[in-house]
Structure 1
Amino acid sequence: MQRIGLLEVTVVTLDGTDLFEIASPMVPNRDDPGSLVPIEVRARQIEINLNQVVAQALNPTASAAADLTPDGAEASLIQVKIDQVNDLPVLFVVLNDPSEPKSLLTVTDSDAQYHGISKVALAEQWQGILQQALDQAVESRQPGALGDRLRQAGLIVLGSLLLSLVLWGLWRILGWRKQILESRQTAGGSQLDLEVNAQSEPGRASLPSVMRYQMSLQQRLQLMSFLRWLLMCGLVFVWISALASVLYLFPQTRRYASTLFSTPLLLLATWFAAGFLNRLANLSIDRIAQAWENNELSTLDNIQHKAMRVSTITRAVKGFKTAVIYVLAILLVLQLLELAPASLLAFGAVAALALSFAAQNLVKDLVNGFLILLEDQYAIGDLVTMGSTTGIVENLNLRITQIRGEDGRLVTLPNSLIAQVDNLSRTWSRAIMTINVAYGTDVNQALVVIRETAQAMAQDPVWRSNILDPTEMLGVEDMTHAGLTILLWIRTQPLKQFLVAREFRRRLRLAFEQEGIAIGIPQQLLSGLNEQEVPAEGL
């Protein structure tokens, strides 16, 4: 029902098919209509009259009377006539007894005003519509028509089964292909780690090729996921269409077909459109990210950092984009289903006011997350310290940052709580080592051994790609009762300081043993005691 000016308009249906629109004066108060008849009551009464006529026409007595006509021709069971009552056209039906016509509806001034034609012309138009609709309703309920519709329903179900098997087979084939690509991606990731950890100077060009191969695999995986999603949507659409088509074949269930093919189809179409736009946007974002990497990732000095930054920004943009698309889709469905009346909007305003107070921290999180990405403070894969938490950034979006600690704990921090960040893996890292040697050691010899060990490690094909400066700082840091403390700084690639430090200590231990250099030992001198005063068991 809809209101147009001072008129209320609705549709009259028969067997789930819209026939025509009727109009009545607007009823301001449904609880107390007075002399006015609500439009939905009038429409319901007309539909009851039509269904009663169809039921009477299927009566064997009426069918037998309609089989014989004066000229021997087959006549219609139902005859729709027009008569004038109180200067208003009245549509009525004549069945087996012409002396007992059944009234269907009266064409009112409101009907003529809404359609813009005279009452007589409108009555003649409705007469033709009702005659055809009633004849089809009676014919569709005959035993022969029922058998034909059952055969059509069987064909629809069979066709849906065959089409479903085809779609399911394609879905399985794409699933197998996706598993193959995932195994290749896993193998490619292992190869990428080997290239990063043990890359030599003559083969420096192989790392970009491995990363480009990984990007290509990721795009193909996304394409496979997108195609499988399309096939699944197609499978759901096939069965909804088949069920609605079967219900539409039979007049008794035709109105359910319209219901099934309206709201569920709208929800399915909205879900499909939102998902399609979401995945299409993902592909576009990935293409832009790939172009960004191809333009900026030109050297290997910062290739890992730039790759991590692109990955971080891409993930955050995808999450924000997905939320926006599905929120807009929900609002669109509410509007199309007319589920947003004034009361719902008022409730939404109150809820929005309440959420505005509760979402203050959320807004702070989003703003701070945006600034983190904009200023490139850290990215996924960086080693950071935030307060008392130190670990690898495992996830970063506009709201939270997740850090995996050394003991495996996953710490989640809202971005609004991050006040200071110590990034331990930006551009380069540093391995800081203190070596304690005995006080009587030749300090110059010890410094030479340490320097030569560091330089030899920096020239090793396995480790030289990880070491930027083997002796950034080398010297005597302190002298204590335990001996001499020598400080060594080794500048490394990001996150490689721990690997380099462990390997250097192993090599230095062997070098000290070969040169006869002893490590520092704490010493303590006791005086004022002679040999007789010290008990034997105390020695």
Structure 2
Amino acid sequence: MILLMSSSGSAVGQVGDVSSPSDIFQEMTVDIQLRYAARSVLFPETRRSGQVGDLAYGSVQLDGRNLFDIAAPSPIADGLEPRGANPVNVRIKRVENRLKTFLREHLHTRRDLESLSVAVTQSNTLYVVQASTAAMADPVTLATVTDDDTEIYGTTTPEVGGYFAKQIQQGLSRAYREREISYIQKVVAWAGVFWLLAGLLSFLLWRLSQRTQRRQWQLREELRSLSSDLTPAGHVDTPLEEAERADHLRTTAYSLKRRLNRQRIHLQGLMLAQGLLWLLTVSFCLRLFPQTRTVGLLFLNRPIAVAFTWGSIILIWQANLYVTERLVFFFLQHDETISSRKQERLQKRLPTLADTLKGFVQAILIIIGMILSALFIFGFSGFQLFASAGVVGVAASIVFQSALQDIISGAMLLWHDAYAIGDVITVGDSSGKVEAITLLMTQLRSAAGELISLRNGTIDNVKNLTKEWSRLNVAVDVALNTDTDKALHLMGEIFAAMAAESEWRTSILEEPDILAVDRLAYSGVTLIIRAKTAPMQQWSVTREYLRRLKQSLDEAGIEFGVPQQTIKVQT
């Protein structure tokens, strides 16, 4: 029963429709059907708050449900710094404590509920909302209607008080009903059903995760054994076959890496779904019961927002992987409009750029995810967050100065195509084949099998031995009495014979640009030949050329130069 009373206790008017206690109880019973409970659980209310002019307002809740809004002067009105607790929060806490105390101390039986009366009385200039039951000697004050409340509602004080009384009446009735044994039995049954469904879905996600992990292991094994599988045992590749095998190896390896990355993203998505499923399950079950509904809302609001944030980041990352990989895979296919030399260089550079781009995008997405998570978890405002981010950014730029230098150097090396994965380079005293490039470091594999890691910021002088083309450079010492024209002619014939053979035709790009006498010394005459070869082929061409040169010089009777020394003895 909701009445507007004067200070003497007599009714001065009715607020809205007046119902008998039995009618109220019947309305409450319909309102507390599990259908309403399920709707409130699936679509929970969040506490309203805001500011109107110089007034701040917020919602009074009972068992996690909004009843009505009350207001108080804003602590940041007129640009003043807030000091102490927020006045509106203090009012909300006081009213909520009174409602909980009344529910705990005065609503014990259905008779108490049927006799529950919430009335608005006027005491001097204030309107207060009071509640009583048949077993109570005096009513209990639950809330006071202030001018601030009237201002935010834009109506008269008695009407605001009547609204407060109506909402309190319904809230207390609903709270009592939700504490009855019959209701608890029903929601326990619903919670059991939901736990069973969550367990089945969790088992399905677990099985999918196991399948994805097995697929990842298979792809890693295929990637590990790829190079040995492509070359039959006991078979020696010709330079043409070696180049074709390298192209096939590069394309196949990149395809396997693409599939492996996709499986890794799938596994991360399944793990996120698993966590989100149990987060929703716990939140749903906690929100079924009035005593734990507030805790369930805590599980729902911020953690769910964080989970959805990272889920969206994973989807964006997956889209980035797909687009990048499809573009790289498209350009890796042979293009008739591009020369074979440029095509080979493109096949080396694109995977390098793609891997670096994916790493950069991943870092950006992680930073965005951390910023949004901080917004959701700690409730920072955008201004506070960006101000803090500015301070942290300045501090990080000082602390991680060397890392920033490495990133800038790595970006410049990639932009100018100083080297790519698969190139053989020399940096200072280190030399080897490039295995990995990131914005922070470069990793080389030396001829001895050592993995060399170099910070990009320390790389200032790079020798790329395999970019676009390489060079055969052979110098041989012959005896001083050798016919140099005959020896040079013999060296040229050997080179021409190799260039005419199909096995070496693709490895030798041009005729020798130098074929001449390079030096005279006491050890003999130094003859030199120099010519362009395909990238990575200079070593195989040089080894074959030296083998043939040794045989031809022996057949021609040309001796190698040896150090000579003349000793004169005077007697």
Common fold, TM-score beyond 0.5?
yes
- Shift in Å, 1:443: 4.0
Does structure 1 residue 315 correspond to structure 2 residue 355? yes
Moved more, 169-178 or 367-376: 367-376
Q: Identify which of 396, 415, 424 aligns with 1:383.
A: 424
Does the 8 Å contact 1:191/1:210 carry over to 2?
A: no
Does structure 1 residue 261 correspond to structure 2 residue 300? yes
Does structure 1 residue 473 correspond to structure 2 residue 521? no
Give me the whole-angstrom Cα distance separating, in 2, the residues matched to 1:162 and 1:504. Answer: 69
What's the secondary structure of 1:11's corresponding residue?
A: strand
Give me the whole-angstrom Cα distance separating, in 1, the residues matched to 2:566 and 2:349. Answer: 58
Q: Identify which of 58, 61, 71 aligns with 1:10.
A: 58
Give me the whole-angstrom Cα distance separating, in 1, the residues matched to 2:164 and 2:222. Answer: 69
Give me the whole-angstrom Cα distance separating, in 2, the residues matched to 1:281 and 1:113. Answer: 52
Partner in structure 2 of residue 70 of structure 1: none
Q: Identify which of 151, 168, 190 aligns with 2:189.
A: 151
Give me the whole-angstrom Cα distance separating, in 2, the residues matched to 1:484 and 1:123. Answer: 114
How far does the alpha carbon of each residue in 1:400-420 deviate from its partner, in whole angstroms, 9 at most, with x for none? 4444455525242334x5444
Q: Identify which of 455, 459, 479 aligns with 1:413.
A: 455
- Shift in Å, 1:197: 6.1
Q: Identify which of 229, 232, 243 aligns with 2:282.
A: 243
Partner in structure 1 of residue 68 of structure 2: 20
Number of residue equivalences = 514
What's the secondary structure of 2:56's corresponding residue?
A: strand
Partner in structure 2 of residue 330 of structure 1: 370
Letter in 2 for 1:84: Q
Letter in 2 for 1:129: Q
What's the secondary structure of 1:247's corresponding residue?
A: helix
Does the 8 Å contact 1:476/1:487 carry over to 2?
A: yes
- Shift in Å, 1:120: 2.5
Check 1:199–1:122 CA distance in 2 against 1; reply closer, same or farther (3 A cut): farther
How far does the alpha carbon of each residue in 1:162-210 deviate from its partner, in whole angstroms, 9 at most, with x for none? 1011112122223333444444455555577899964649x99898777
Give me the whole-angstrom Cα distance separating, in 2, the residues matched to 1:32 and 1:332. Answer: 28
Letter in 2 for 1:494: P
Check 1:295–1:498 CA distance in 2 against 1; reply closer, same or farther (3 A cut): closer
Partner in structure 2 of residue 71 of structure 1: none
Q: Identify which of 480, 484, 490 aligns with 2:525.
A: 484
Give me the whole-angstrom Cα distance separating, in 1, the residues matched to 2:442 and 2:421. Answer: 9
Check 1:379–1:506 CA distance in 2 against 1; reply closer, same or farther (3 A cut): same
Letter in 2 for 1:7: L
Does structure 1 residue 45 correspond to structure 2 residue 84? no
Identity of aligned residues (%): 27
Moved more, 390-399 or 423-432: 390-399
Question: Any residues of structure 2 matched to 1:165-180 within 5 Å, and which?
Answer: 165-180=203-218
Q: Identify which of 113, 119, 124 aligns with 1:81.
A: 119
Q: Identify which of 116, 123, 135 aligns with 2:173.
A: 135
Give me the whole-angstrom Cα distance separating, in 2, the residues matched to 1:200 and 1:409. Answer: 28
Partner in structure 1 of residue 342 of structure 2: 302
Does the 8 Å contact 2:128/2:142 carry over to 1?
A: yes
Give me the whole-angstrom Cα distance separating, in 1, the residues matched to 2:115 and 2:444. Answer: 80
Give me the whole-angstrom Cα distance separating, in 2, the residues matched to 1:103 and 1:234. Answer: 48
Check 1:410–1:486 CA distance in 2 against 1; reply closer, same or farther (3 A cut): same
Partner in structure 1 of residue 326 of structure 2: 287
- Shift in Å, 1:222: 3.5
Give me the whole-angstrom Cα distance separating, in 2, the residues matched to 1:414 and 1:224. Answer: 30
- Shift in Å, 1:258: 0.9
Give me the whole-angstrom Cα distance separating, in 1, the residues matched to 2:447 and 2:249. Answer: 29
Does the 8 Å contact 2:262/2:318 carry over to 1?
A: no
Does the 8 Å contact 2:317/2:362 carry over to 1?
A: yes
Moved more, 266-275 or 124-133: 124-133
Q: CA RMSD in A?
A: 3.6
Check 1:242–1:355 CA distance in 2 against 1; reply closer, same or farther (3 A cut): closer
Does the 8 Å contact 1:437/1:517 carry over to 2?
A: yes
Give me the whole-angstrom Cα distance separating, in 1, the residues matched to 2:92 and 2:215. Answer: 57
What's the secondary structure of 2:341's corresponding residue?
A: coil
What's the secondary structure of 2:476's corresponding residue?
A: strand
Give me the whole-angstrom Cα distance separating, in 2, the residues matched to 1:30 and 1:303. Answer: 66
Q: Identify which of 472, 476, 491 aligns with 1:435.
A: 476
Partner in structure 2 of residue 537 of structure 1: none
Which residues of structure 2 form unaligned runs of 5+? 1-48
Q: Identify which of 145, 154, 163 aligns with 1:107.
A: 145
Q: Identify which of 459, 465, 478 aligns with 1:424.
A: 465
What's the secondary structure of 1:376's corresponding residue?
A: coil
Does the 8 Å contact 1:425/1:494 carry over to 2?
A: yes
Give me the whole-angstrom Cα distance separating, in 2, the residues matched to 1:295 and 1:4. Answer: 66
Check 1:77–1:258 CA distance in 2 against 1; reply closer, same or farther (3 A cut): farther
Check 1:462–1:95 CA distance in 2 against 1; reply closer, same or farther (3 A cut): farther
Partner in structure 1 of residue 311 of structure 2: 272
Check 1:389–1:223 CA distance in 2 against 1; reply closer, same or farther (3 A cut): closer
Give me the whole-angstrom Cα distance separating, in 1, the residues matched to 2:499 and 2:199. Answer: 67
Give me the whole-angstrom Cα distance separating, in 2, the residues matched to 1:241 and 1:247. Answer: 10
How far does the alpha carbon of each residue in 1:64-101 deviate from its partner, in whole angstroms, 9 at most, with x for none? x44xxxxxxxx636333333333444222222425322
Which residues of structure 1 form unaligned runs of 5+? 67-74, 531-539
Partner in structure 1 of residue 261 of structure 2: 222
Check 1:169–1:346 CA distance in 2 against 1; reply closer, same or farther (3 A cut): closer
What's the secondary structure of 2:480's corresponding residue?
A: coil
Give me the whole-angstrom Cα distance separating, in 2, the residues matched to 1:509 and 1:77. Answer: 117
Give me the whole-angstrom Cα distance separating, in 2, the residues matched to 1:21 and 1:11. Answer: 4
How far does the alpha carbon of each residue in 1:246-276 deviate from its partner, in whole angstroms, 9 at most, with x for none? 2112222111111111222222122222222
Partner in structure 2 of residue 533 of structure 1: none
- Shift in Å, 1:291: 3.7
Does the 8 Å contact 2:219/2:256 carry over to 1?
A: yes
Give me the whole-angstrom Cα distance separating, in 2, the residues matched to 1:444 and 1:527. Answer: 32
Q: Identify which of 86, 90, 104 aligns with 2:128.
A: 90
